[in-house]
Amino acid sequence: MTDDEVTAFIEENPKFQLATINRDGTPHLVTMFSGLVEGKIAFWTYRTSRKAYNLARDPRVTCLIEAGTDYFELRGLMLYGTVRSLTEPNDVRYVGSQVVRRMMGLEDDDAIASVVGQTAAKRHAYIVEPTGVASWDHRKLT
């Protein structure tokens, strides 16, 4: 994919797989919903989650976004990077609002604030700072 196609693909797909590194070196892989902050993948999670512990110890991540069912429809990207951790309550609420907006398709700021307010105090937020991207688009193979 071109850089513009990568950007558009990230913007079009709010769900991604996040890989962090467990203490024993094995990958911890989970599906997450993302927001976009400064054009970068942003997410939040409970402070006591396995991924939060992993990220506190080692900020390296791999993010996978993919689409398509048939072979010649497959497209996706693997984004390598490190996370910037956000713990300040206003930052956590901001990232949470971006995630909820995309995840639930909400536009009403009051509705978003209500959803975010219910769990923000128990969460940390993260912004993925990319260090590399690998992408593919099998639609271009035909």
Q: What is the pLDDT of residues 68-91, one digit of tens each?
A: 999 999 999 999 999 999 999 999
Counting as low any pLDDT under 50, the low residues of the chain are none
pLDDT at res. 110: 83
> Bridge-partner residues for 135, per DSSP?
77
Q: How far is residue 29's CA from residue 54's CA, in Å, rounded to a whole number? A: 11
pLDDT for 107 = 81
Query: For residue 92, what are the contacts with CB-CB under 8 A and spacing of at least 6?
Result: 44, 86, 120, 123, 124, 125
CA gyration radius, the chain: 16
Query: How much is the mean pLDDT over the chain?
Result: 94
Tokens representing residue 48 in the block? 């006591």
For 28, the token pair is 């911890």
* Of 139, 1, 141, 131, residue with least CA distance to 65: 1
